[in-house]
Amino acid sequence: MASTEPLDPSPPGQDNPADSKENPAASEAPPAVPPEVLAMEDALARGDHQAARRMALVLSRSEDPRLRDPGLALARRLERDPVVLGVLLSTGFILAAVALHYLGHR
């Protein structure tokens, strides 16, 4: 019958250096996410893109890289696409031209 013990990748008789107290990086907890970033991500998760975009712009101007980097990343994600704007304007122009042509030849 197979053993249910977890497999240890380290050779027998050697301790895993990541578990050692000599390695301070192993005992450090990951950095906490600032509440401003959590609020921005929460606004995005709720679907409030306008508030998320506003918060991202504010955070992107911060001096703290823990705030600036997520702010810049989300601001880039939420930028308006210039291609979509061009298609919208072109469609509006074509629609207006067809309407004027129709109304002018009645």
Q: What is the pLDDT of residues 10-52, one digit of tens each?
A: 555 555 555 555 555 555 666 788 889 999 999 999 999 999 9
Range with lowest mean pLDDT among 4-8, 17-21, 32-36, 66-70:
17-21
Residues 6+ apart with CB under 8 A from 74: 40, 44, 52, 53, 56, 59
For 30, the 3-state DSSP assignment is coil
Residue 80 has pLDDT above 90, yes or no: no
Q: Are the beta carbons of 62 and 68 closer than 8 angstroms?
A: yes
Domain boundaries, the chain: 34-104
- What percent of the chain lies above the pLDDT cut of 90? 53
Residue 90: both structure tokens together:
């072109």
CA atoms of 18 and 27, how far apart (whole Å): 8
